[in-house]
Amino acid sequence: MAEQHGQVPGVCCITCPLRQHNEWCVLTEAETRLLEGSRKSWEFAAGDAVFSVGEPSLGVYCVASGVVAIRKIDTAGHAIPTRLVYHSDIFGYRGLLLDVNRRYSAQALCPSRICFVDKSVVKTLLERNPALGQQFLHRIVADLEDAHDQLMRNATQSNRSKFLRLLLMFLSHHGRTAKDGSQYIALPLSRRDLASMIGTRQETLSRIIGRLEEDGLARFSGRTVHLPRLDSLLREIQRPSQFA
C-alpha cells in the first residue's frame, strides 16, 4: 500500500507512472522536466467543472485519477456527454492547438485529481519535439475515425443497439466481475445523460431497459447493471443491418 512518494500519479511528471501511457511518452527527460516545471495539480469533487464553454483555452489537462465527462452543448442548450476520459488521458488539447475558446465543457464525475500544463509550455514542447505533434495528430485522427464510424452506425442502428454498444464501452473502464463470474457495471452517468448519448429521450431509454430485463440480457438497479448473458449481447450488436 505505502507507495513511494514519487510514483504517485498527479504529484510529479518525472516519476509519474501514467506518462508512459499517454502522448507525453515521446518526451525526453529534459522535456519532461519542463513539463513538470509548469505542472499544477487540482482536486475536483464529483460534479465540479474542470472547464466550461466559452473560456479561453489556457492549457491541457491530464487525469491522474477519477473520471471526466467531455460535454458538448446542443441547440437547445443541453450539455451532452460526447466522451469520458480516464486515468492517464490528456484532454483539452483541441481548443489549445487551435487557439480558440472552449467549445466543450469538462466535468469531473467523481472525486478526481487532475494535472494542468500551461499552453506556452505545450507549444514549446510541440516546437522542440515533432514526435509530440505526431502523437496528438494520431489521437485526433483516431477520434475522427470514431466519430465517422458512429455517424454511420447511428444512421442504421436501433436505439437498443446503440445503448448496448454504450454499455460495452463502459465495461472496459467501469466493469467489475461479480463473485459468480458475471460482469457488472457501475454506470458513471444518469439515465438522462445516457439517453442523450444515444440521441434519445429518457422515457425511451427507460423502456429499452425494461425490455433488456425482460430478455434477460441485463438487470438494472440504480446505477448498477449486471450483464449475465454477455455473449448473446455481443452477438446482438455485431449482427450487421441489411441495407438495400
Partner DNA sequence: CGCCAGGTTGATTTCGCTCAAGCAATGTGG
Partner DNA sequence: CCACATTGCTTGAGCGAAATCAACCTGGCG
In the complex, which residues of this chain contact DNA (CB under 7 A)?
158-160, 190-192, 199-210, 220, 223, 241-242, 244
| Closest to 68 (Cα-Cα) out of 115, 30, 8, 24 | 115
User: Which residue, 83 or 191, has its beta carbon nearer to DNA?
Assistant: 191
Compute CA 9 distance to the chain's CA centroid, rounded to the nearest angstrom.
Answer: 18
CB of 156 to DNA, least distance (A): 8
CB of 155 to DNA, least distance (A): 8
User: Which residue, 109 or 205, has its beta carbon nearer to DNA?
Assistant: 205
CB-neighbour burial class of residue 155 (10 A; exposed 0-12, middle 13-18, buried 19+): exposed
CB of 214 to its own copies, least distance (A): 26
How far is residue 200's CA from residue 129's CA, in Å, rounded to a whole number?
Answer: 44
Gyration radius from the chain CA atoms: 20
Dihedral through CA 20, CA 50, CA 93, CA 5, nearest 10?
-20
Query: Which of DNA, its own copies, none interacts with 166 (beta carbon under 5 to 8 A by kind)?
Result: none
User: Which residue, 75 or 172, has its beta carbon nearer to its own copies?
Assistant: 75
> Are the C-beta atoms of 153 and 145 separated by less than 8 Å?
no
CB of 61 to DNA, least distance (A): 25
List interacting residues with its own copies (CB under 8 A): 72, 74-78, 80, 82, 94, 97-98, 103, 127, 130, 133, 136-138, 140-141, 143-145, 147-148, 150-156, 196, 198-202, 240-244
